Amino acid sequence: MPKMKGPAILLAQFMRDEEPYNNIENIGRWVAGLGYVGVQIPTSDMRIIDLDRAAESKMYCDDYKGKLKEIGLEPTELDGYHAGQVLAVHPAYEVMFEVFHPPGLKGDARTEWATRELKKCIHASVNMGTDVIPALSGGFAWHMVYPWPQRPDGIIDEAFKELAKRWRPLLDLAHDNGTAFAYELHPGSDIYDGATYEMFLDFTGDHPAACLNYDPSHLLLQQLDYLEFIRLYGERVKGLHVKDAEFRPTGRVGVYGGYQSWSGRAGRFRSLGDGQVDFRRVFTLLSEAGYDGWATLEWECCVKSPAQGAAEGAPFIADHIIETTEVAFDDFVAGEVNPERNRKLLGLSG
């Protein structure tokens, strides 16, 4: 079994306008000092990367990797979260998702922009030497997640048909270039659990580039068996967010959250080790499934500071990465196949 890589860290939640969080060199030195060896790059942040140049120039990417190497880091993935989310947007969410794209884009113009950005992510990943693009799927039917009022027959199929239509050319381009999209199952997207992921695969012809970015925190908050999920879909997992969460329902709030802030919800993201995710089992099952990608901290705790969460995250991940064995503990008693001896042990005549 191969060994996964890490610890790595998604930089998006740590970016600020002040040092050391304001550009790739400064924040890179900060996270390297904490023990991280890889960084997941948010492509929507110009303080971190110029996606246009990365998509057009291998020299730019080589120089970028060279700067990271001097710090003791390497790029793990270039993300496509924002562009993926706005590739498919229901009108009810247009205004709230405006922060994910340039001002003034609506309808077809927004879809065309998102398509171009995701294509850039593919070409930039090739130039950078990475082969997985974590993304959100976007969607049209999230407002119908609860089946009341009763959903019209065929409407969910229609949503996934259109979602697949928008993603299929991108999946083809990714596959042709040796990369894959790893969808994070996320609220607000039409791909948010195993059933919806299977529907997407059905509508994309079981596309080999339609893979998964496994994040147990989102699965725990919807009370899905996040360990069984690995057993079902482990071979499709190409990315891993090591992110903790807790679900503590009360007489006031449950899964829906009661419109409360994050700190007041029953389901809350936590720093690693402070939540309920069984990471020992997560890392074991992913190792057994053959996952050899990066183990990447995504920090979104509603209690601890980002500085403390980041500082605690690197040793936590390093402690959980498994040095997979190539031998069995009882190999010392093994020997060559001996048919005659085996038949004797089975009580069979020669």
By three-state DSSP, how is residue 112 classified? Answer: helix
Overall average pLDDT of the 293-315 stretch: 97
Lowest mean pLDDT among 1-10, 143-152, 169-178: 1-10
pLDDT at position 350 is 60
Lowest mean pLDDT among 131-140, 224-233, 328-337: 328-337
Which residues make Cβ contacts (< 8 Å) with residue 269, sequence separation at least 6? 217, 243, 244, 245, 262, 275, 300, 301, 302
pLDDT at position 326 is 74
Under the banding of pLDDT at 50, 70 and 90, the label for residue 332 is: low
pLDDT at position 82 is 98
pLDDT at position 187 is 96
Which residues make Cβ contacts (< 8 Å) with residue 335, sequence separation at least 6? none
Q: At what angle do helices 226-233 and 279-288 cross, to 10 degrees?
A: 10
Report CA-CA distances (Å) from 109 to 38, 60, 83, 306.
35, 29, 13, 36
Overall average pLDDT of the 262-283 stretch: 98
pLDDT at position 333 is 63
Rounded Cα distance between 254 and 213, Å, is: 26
Q: Where are the domains of the chain?
A: 5-345
Residue 301 has pLDDT above 80, yes or no: yes
Rounded Cα distance between 326 and 166, Å, is: 43
Overall average pLDDT of the 214-222 stretch: 98
The burial class, CB within 10 Å (0-12 / 13-18 / 19+), for 150 is exposed
Overall average pLDDT of the 16-37 stretch: 97
State what percent of residues in the chain have pLDDT above 70: 96
Q: Which fold would CATH assign to domain 5-345?
A: TIM Barrel (3.20.20)
pLDDT at position 3 is 87
Token pair listed for 31? 């996270």
Rg, C-alpha atoms of the chain: 22
pLDDT at position 80 is 98
User: Quick one: residue 107, left, alpha or beta (phi over 0 = left, psi -120 to 50 = alpha)?
Assistant: left
